[in-house]
Amino acid sequence: MNCEEETQFGFRIAGAIADIIHINDCIDRPRILTRYQILAIPGGFSYGDDTGAGNAFANKLKNHLWEKLLKFASGDRLIIAICNGFQILVNTGLLTGLHTPRGTKDIALLQNESSRLIDRWTDLKNFSLSPWLRGINTFSLPIGHGEGRLYAKPETLALMKKNNMIALRYVKGDICNYQQLPVNPTGTLDNIAGITDKTGKIFGLMPHPERALFFTQLPYWTYLKEVYTRHGKTIPKEGPGLQIFKNAVTYFSS
């Protein structure tokens, strides 16, 4: 897909054993999902975004892995879907998972308002009690996508809010202040950057936590380095995205 190596690395430095498995291998090995506790659908350009980002991959999941996937999701398991992964899960209907029959797509991630792929950092606020976001209030992550503008009918949005499914919203923070950037990069509905299902265990987001594992990935780390050094503060090694991976590991190890 593209981002699988960084995503695997994020889980590994958080303390998990993480394997990259091609979807075809998942399909060929029916019991493979039962071996794992966390499923991550990484970012990238599956099928080259042909016929719309995440459409073909979602069809593959629905047509060849659906029962296994539902079984996995029904257990005490965690699923994260990042960027293209989010687009894929939205297309399968697993997010939101609010409407029956299962697999009904009820929201969409549309083309950005600017009709361009936006590549920048964003500021985010956590509104969720999801285990994925434990201990996170506000933080910054990078985005890089062309189709991230969430759309939902008013009834669906109301239902999502009622069930505490809005996880992350774009807000004004350090990045917007540092680089004079607009809060909402894509015109997404209600500034929504990430959502969960009703249980909070399936988490989809457009920003890339795996691209924010290290301090030196922040766009203003050289500035922070000067400020910290001159005030005698230690320069951090970790980036803001690592906490998400740590939270997943903590969920199963505590």
Partner 1 sequence: MLKPLQGRGRINADATVTRPVYTSQKGVVLSQALYPNYSDYDPYHMAASSIDTAIRNVVAAGGTIDHLALLDNFCWCSAHDPIRLGQLKRAARACYDVAVAFETPFISGKDSMFNDFKGFDENGKPVMISISPTLLISAIGVIPDVSKSVSLDVKLAGDLVYVLGETHENPWAPVDAKQNVKLYRAFYKLAARDLIASAISVHHGGLAIAFARMSLGGLLGLDINLPQGILWNENQGRIVTTVAPGNKNKFENGLKNIPYACYGTVVDSNRLTIKENNTSILINESLSDMIKAYRKPFENY
Active site residue 210: yes
Single residue of 178, 187, 199, 250 touching partner 1 by CB under 8 A: 178
Active site residue 5: no
- Angle at which helix 66-74 crosses helix 55-64, to 10 degrees, equals 90
C-alpha span between 141 and 135 (Å, rounded): 16
Q: Is 234 a binder of partner 1 (CB under 8 A)?
A: no
Single residue of 31, 35, 230, 231 touching partner 1 by CB under 8 A: 230
Look up residue 165 and give its DSSP letter.
-
Nearer to partner 1, 45 or 178 (CB): 178
Q: Which stretch binds partner 1 (CB under 8 A): 42-50, 147-155, 191-199, 220-228?
A: 220-228
Query: CA-CA distances (angstroms) from residue 41 to 12, 47, 83, 85, 117?
Result: 16, 14, 9, 5, 20
Single residue of 74, 100, 180, 253 touching partner 1 by CB under 8 A: 180
Please report which helix (H) or strand (E) contains residue 15, including its range: none
Q: Which stretch binds partner 1 (CB under 8 A): 92-100, 149-157, 185-193, 228-236?
A: 228-236
How wide is the angle at C-alpha 128 spanned by C-alphas 173 and 133, nearest 5°?
A: 75
Q: Is 223 a binder of partner 1 (CB under 8 A)?
A: yes
Q: Is 34 a binder of partner 1 (CB under 8 A)?
A: no
Active site residue 226: no
C-alpha span between 151 and 160 (Å, rounded): 12
- Nearest approach, Cβ of residue 233 and partner 1 (Å): 14
Number of shown-chain residues binding partner 1 (CB under 8 A): 23
Q: Is 229 a binder of partner 1 (CB under 8 A)?
A: yes
Query: β-pairing, 78-82 with 138-145?
Result: unpaired
Single residue of 17, 20, 158, 235 touching partner 1 by CB under 8 A: 235
Q: Is 226 a binder of partner 1 (CB under 8 A)?
A: yes
Q: Is 197 a binder of partner 1 (CB under 8 A)?
A: no
| Cβ-proximal residues to 191 (8 Å cutoff; 6+ apart), any chain | 169, 170, 171, 183, 184
* Catalytic-role residue among 3, 4, 26, 83: 83
Please spell the DSSP secondary structure of 30-60, one letter per residue. Answer: TTGGGG-SEEEE--B-GGGGTTSTTHHHHHH
Site track for partner 1 across 77-116, x = CB under 8 A: ---------------------------------------x
Nearer to partner 1, 215 or 252 (CB): 215
From the list 38, 9, 139, 23, the residue with the least C-alpha distance to 92 is: 23
b/e per residue 33-65 (b: at least 16 CB within 10 A): beebbbbbbbbbbbbebeebbbbbbbebbeeeb
| Binding positions for partner 1, rule: CB under 8 A | 5-6, 9, 116, 178-180, 213-217, 219-223, 225-227, 229-230, 235
Active site residues: 83, 208, 210
